[in-house]
Structure 1
């Protein structure tokens, strides 16, 4: 590169804060300068004179650098940060209305750690993390093996958990490991179609089976939906996507078979009838639907209209929206639903701004993991879906799950922050 071009480019880059943006702009401007130089030389000018004229045509280097800095700077999605912050504040609402199993100090620690995770991940380059997607898959495999090691696990309500220092690890973290693994698998450029299909089949069958045996039925459903969504939005050719989607369809039937095989017929029939007609089994599984209906009927705009005869069941973490509706009123519930609606809209708008495949897959996958449990919990709370054990993100009881959702939000903020410095280029990642 000649001295005139180098001096001009250095002056432009001095006005820019983003190092990645500097690399991108230098590449683009150098291409323009060389093109202008060749055009001028064809008119009969000497090389040195052509270089000088090419630089002059680009205009003032300082002003151009300031303009490029605005276009290629790292941005924080403060709207998304504000929405998530509102949800974290609302997670304290249950403590205002009734005694909870988890004390307020544990909640403060949980929320503080969640905020720390979100902002830490936001400033970490998501591409450097995604570069090691195979290690995330390996970690998921070790997680699955650890579930079968005596001494590392504990049993809670018939479900197996990995226990570390007396604390049970939520299986949502296994879903997070698989999320990163699937995105890496679908966006890996060096793999052949055959290799990608084989590993997709392996990931599907092994971990759907794993979730069913824990058992975590809802996580199995969520995993299948997550995999399907990422495959659909990936840039893979028709052959790869059709193969994987056909297998996903097979997984759904396989999952349905396991559900039928592992539960007695009478129990399945009773649960289904209880949802359709709770009064038919008011002393059994229909009791929960009857009580939910009673609670909602006694909720006012700003609090309860009348006292409940039995409110012990409201302490269940999956019924947090029902409990908040009764104790805080329909106004509080409306605020929660509006905030989640704003989250949905914000994620959609952010997704439309993504330029690369990895960005799109991380955003759409994160959106599925955040919004699917919200929609299901809302439908379940108001009697439009059977009681299936879906928690309300950020608000339901449990510090483990807050940390899980914080990891997802942190990654999505990292993607958004770098979207304007990744246009039409692949910046080299330090390994």
Structure 2
């Protein structure tokens, strides 16, 4: 089959690789009908995520048609259209039973490696390094899905691939980010990053009753999409974000702040951001945490900072004193996707949201290396790339 493979920093290629096979009775094989490039895939492209190996297949936003099943998968049948959560979860461990699917205890075969870096291992993830399981991703013609009796969700015929695909990651991620922000009716919510997760966080915050959402970015197309979704906007290339947020909230600060950027935060002229970039280039730190610092400093006293943005290691000089003295709640985490897929699918079916709004660039799998570069470099208005491996 054809698959998009990582070969080193800045080097991804579409290669011919072996087809996946059933390895366990709880496996399924799906023929990928649609997959997407996620912002967190760019951390792999840029070399920030450790334990990648040449030839690893990327991609964790996947859906398709079931073409083979292990003997213990009884909830699916051949021919079903399914969306696959990016978190691989057993459904039966202590964490899964509590709905903490991204913390599954049983799906990372390299748990010891992850525990050395993090203290404990999270769940295995598709296409996201050997520290997180070494699982093949779905930017490919076919995908092996472990724990297929727990993760995949069947999609009704009246929902298109473009509407359903983002149940795999960015819609639940944006929704959980808003949920973690502990929004009360009428609250003001500031969201850093108007990429795909930020766009879903904007719409989710408004669905949860936010009175105002203020979205922060510098890319015109992303700011325009945020405004179309009901947000006010701040261009951080033109305005001091902290000062502007204080002015718009009469000095109190936003009730909740959402960091939908993560470890490769950019800024214009900010001394801390310049130092982050220098340290990362010299491998003195892994994460550029300018946005997280700014969110902590901007948030009102007693407010909440929610962090769906991906961080991979160490970041310097977080204002922990400010967070403590202001009494902030900080909630972070990979998304517990299986907790959200069914209720969010119901919102799609009911017409409450059409997630396809975020797609800007349909493409083929063979276009993947070019589209990765355009997405990373923010060229041609790229916000979300969806690829169809079979044309």
Q: Which TM-score applies when normalising by structure 1? A: 0.27
Q: TM-score, normalised by structure 2?
A: 0.29
Structure with bigger RCO (C-alpha 8 Å, 6+ apart): 1
Structure of larger gyration radius: 1
Task: Kindly indicate which of the two structures has a greater share of residues assigned to strand.
Answer: 2
